């Protein structure tokens, strides 16, 4: 974990959860697992403030805890979930495209609450969508999100009263994370509540009729971040294959990923083996079997090995999408794009040559790249100074004399991905800081625009037939210079948001590649 990650996490937590929660998280990021009282003492905060901040962070799955042998509960920050706050708008937009407005609001409610009951989510969404016909459509959207694993069931918690400290114990099996409450669970719960009730039967039936039709069984749900990351990874792979091989190949890879999207674990190296006949049946636009097999052979013979032949027995054979090779191909393309934009096309040619040949001397680079020696030397030293290229000394004699030493240049994609990821975190922090500075600088104009908008809404509500003169008079409350400053502010904010969205794509590609290497 780098200092840039910690700084970005602090900025995100301060913006969304306040300064106290950010201070507690920053202390834990710097010191690792720590108990409650030690955090309060060293962070110079009140014990109650630290307790509330930790409860908030745990509820949103941004912090975690464990119990030591001496019955002391220690806390730490889940840095991956904290950094995923950057992708929350993308989560919401993705669900809206896939399942509609009701699912969008369900995910938004889940992100706002951290963990939430199914009935609470449906009730809140129904209040925000008065045009929906009851809660049936919203409940269906909720179940669709669970079935496709975008929402997951939170583990049940029991309290161990025998211990000196009440320790939560997780009792839910991992296989049940995407299981909706069944009728048997609901009936058992209703039976238990009825047996202990002293109310008349008619009154109980009336109260049951008034309660919502959704039964939760006390089960809480949360957003499955790894499932969203898997979906974004699949979209990146499809876009890369489509750009390189064309639309038919992209649709074939999309079909393979869609077939195994729910059955493939988040840290798997490849998808489940799929037959060519099953791939052909899953395509939205039917292609002849011969064309599907030709495209699969083309993909499997590519040097990147994104699609691999798993087994050639049977008709057509079985194919898999190698997720590790896909992550490497995307990260390599990102690094090459950075090198070309920063150092130029000739430097990118040298970089590609080093990737292909692994180790080369300076004279070999000049010959193979067909670049004048002076230019090649300048590009190599420039990239070497910025750690984009590695130089290794191979002495021929024990005295390490320069005249009798080989100087070999090489490239390490994994190392460069980490370097670029840290730079992306730094850039993202700078964008957020700049955006906050713009809002603070133009706060007076923004507040004035908000007041004018509120007045216009009030006038339109009370006087539906208001003439244009009244509305123009309201608009004139803001001077021309203020309106110019407001337009400039909005233009700068739009540019910052666009830059941040593009930066998030780079962060996701590099982070996915490094996670694939760590899970290998």
Which pLDDT score, from 0 to 100, does residue 189 have? 46
In which residue are the tokens 């060293």 written?
Answer: 42
pLDDT score for 181: 62
Name residues whose C-beta falls within 8 Å of residue 426's C-beta, 6 or more positions apart in sequence: 4
CB 260 within 8 A of CB 254: no
pTM over cut 0.85: no
Q: Measuring CA to CA, which residue among 332, 329, 330 is closest to residue 352? A: 332
Residue with structure tokens 């700078």? 430
Phi, psi for 65 (deg, rounded to 5): -150, 160
- CA–CA separation, 229 vs 225, rounded Å? 6
What pLDDT score does 197 carry?
Answer: 46
Alpha carbons 145 and 177: distance in angstroms, whole number: 12
Those residues whose C-beta lies under 8 Å from the C-beta of residue 193, and which sit 6 or more positions away, are none
Helix, strand, coil content of the chain in percent (nearest 5): 65, 10, 25
Distance CA 77, CA 3 (A): 14
Assigned fold of 3-77: Arc Repressor Mutant, subunit A (1.10.10)
3-class state of residue 391 by DSSP: strand
What's CA 266's distance to the chain center, in Å? 13
H/E stretch holding 393 reads: strand 390-395
* Residue in this structure with the two tokens 């910052």, named with its chain if needed: 496
Contacts 24+ apart (CB under 8 A), 234-239: 234/258, 234/261, 236/330, 236/505, 236/508, 236/509, 236/512, 237/306, 237/321, 237/323, 237/326, 237/330
The class (CATH top level) of 80-192+216-223 is mainly alpha
Domain 226-320 falls under CATH 3.40.109.10: no
pLDDT of residue 166: 42
Mean pLDDT of each 10-residue bin along the chain, 520 residues long: 86 91 91 89 89 90 84 88 92 92 91 89 85 73 89 71 46 58 46 47 40 62 91 91 89 89 80 87 83 88 87 78 91 93 92 91 89 90 91 82 84 92 93 92 89 81 70 78 90 93 92 83
- Axis crossing angle, helix 88-99 with helix 225-245, rounded to the nearest 10: 70
Altogether, the residues listed in the chain come to a count of 520
Please say whether the beta carbons of 417 and 339 come within 8 A. Answer: no
The predicted-structure confidence for 78-91, as pLDDT tens digits, reads as follows 999 999 999 999 99
Question: Distance between the two ends of the chain, CA-based, in angstroms?
Answer: 19
> Which of these CATH numbers, 3.60.90.10, 2.40.30.20, 3.10.580.20, 1.10.10.10, describes 327-411?
1.10.10.10
Helix (H, G, I), strand (E, B) or coil at 322: strand
């Amino acid at each position: 974990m780098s200092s840039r990650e910690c700084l970005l996490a602090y900025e995100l937590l301060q913006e969304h959860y306040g300064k106290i929660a950010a201070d507690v998280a920053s202390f834990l990021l710097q010191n690792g697992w720590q108990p409650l009282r030690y955090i309060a003492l060293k962070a110079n905060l009140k014990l109650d403030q630290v307790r509330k901040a930790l409860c908030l962070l745990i509820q949103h799955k941004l912090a975690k805890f464990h119990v030591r042998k001496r019955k002391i509960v220690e806390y730490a920050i889940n840095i991956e979930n904290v950094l995923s706050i950057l992708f929350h708008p993308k989560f919401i937009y993705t669900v809206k495209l896939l399942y509609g407005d009701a699912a969008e609001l369900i995910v938004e409610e889940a992100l706002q609450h951290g963990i939430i009951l199914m009935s609470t989510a449906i009730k809140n969404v129904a209040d925000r969508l008065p045009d929906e016909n009851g809660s049936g459509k919203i409940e269906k959207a909720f179940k669709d999100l669970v079935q496709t694993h975008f929402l997951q069931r939170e583990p049940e918690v029991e309290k161990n009263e025998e211990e000196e400290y009440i320790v939560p114990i997780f009792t839910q099996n991992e296989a049940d994370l995407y299981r909706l409450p069944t009728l048997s669970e609901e009936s058992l719960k209703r039976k238990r509540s009825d047996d202990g009730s002293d109310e008349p039967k008619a009154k109980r039936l009336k109260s049951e009729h008034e309660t919502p039709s959704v039964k939760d069984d006390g089960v809480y749900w949360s957003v499955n971040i790894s499932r969203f990351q898997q979906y974004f990874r699949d979209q990146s792979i499809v876009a890369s294959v489509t750009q390189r091989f064309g639309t038919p190949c992209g649709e074939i890879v999309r079909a393979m990923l869609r077939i195994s999207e729910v059955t493939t674990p988040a840290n798997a190296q490849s998808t489940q083996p799929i037959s060519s006949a099953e791939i052909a049946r899953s395509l939205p636009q039917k292609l002849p079997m011969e064309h599907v097999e030709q495209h699969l052979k083309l993909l499997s013979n590519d040097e990147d090995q994104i699609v691999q032949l798993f087994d050639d027995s049977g008709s057509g054979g079985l194919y898999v999408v190698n997720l590790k090779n896909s992550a490497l191909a995307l990260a390599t393309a990102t690094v090459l794009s950075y090198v070309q934009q920063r150092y130029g096309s000739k430097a990118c040619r040298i970089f590609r040559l080093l990737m292909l040949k692994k180790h080369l001397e300076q004279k070999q680079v000049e010959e193979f790249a067909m670049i004048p020696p002076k230019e090649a030397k300048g590009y190599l030293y420039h990239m070497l100074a910025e750690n984009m290229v590695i130089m290794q000394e191979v002495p021929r004699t024990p005295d390490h004399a320069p005249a009798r030493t080989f100087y070999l240049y090489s490239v390490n994609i994994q190392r460069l991905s980490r370097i670029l990821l840290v730079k992306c975190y730094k850039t993202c922090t700078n964008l957020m800081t700049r955006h906050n500075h713009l809002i603070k600088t133009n706060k007076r104009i923004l507040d004035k625009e908000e007041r004018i908008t509120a007045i216009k809404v009030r006038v339109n509500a009370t006087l539906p037939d208001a003439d244009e003169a009244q509305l123009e008079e309201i608009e004139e409350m803001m001077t021309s210079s203020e309106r110019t400053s407001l337009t400039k502010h909005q233009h700068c904010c739009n540019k910052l948001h666009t830059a941040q969205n593009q930066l998030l794509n780079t962060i996701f590609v590099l982070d996915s590649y490094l996670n694939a290497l760590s899970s290998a």
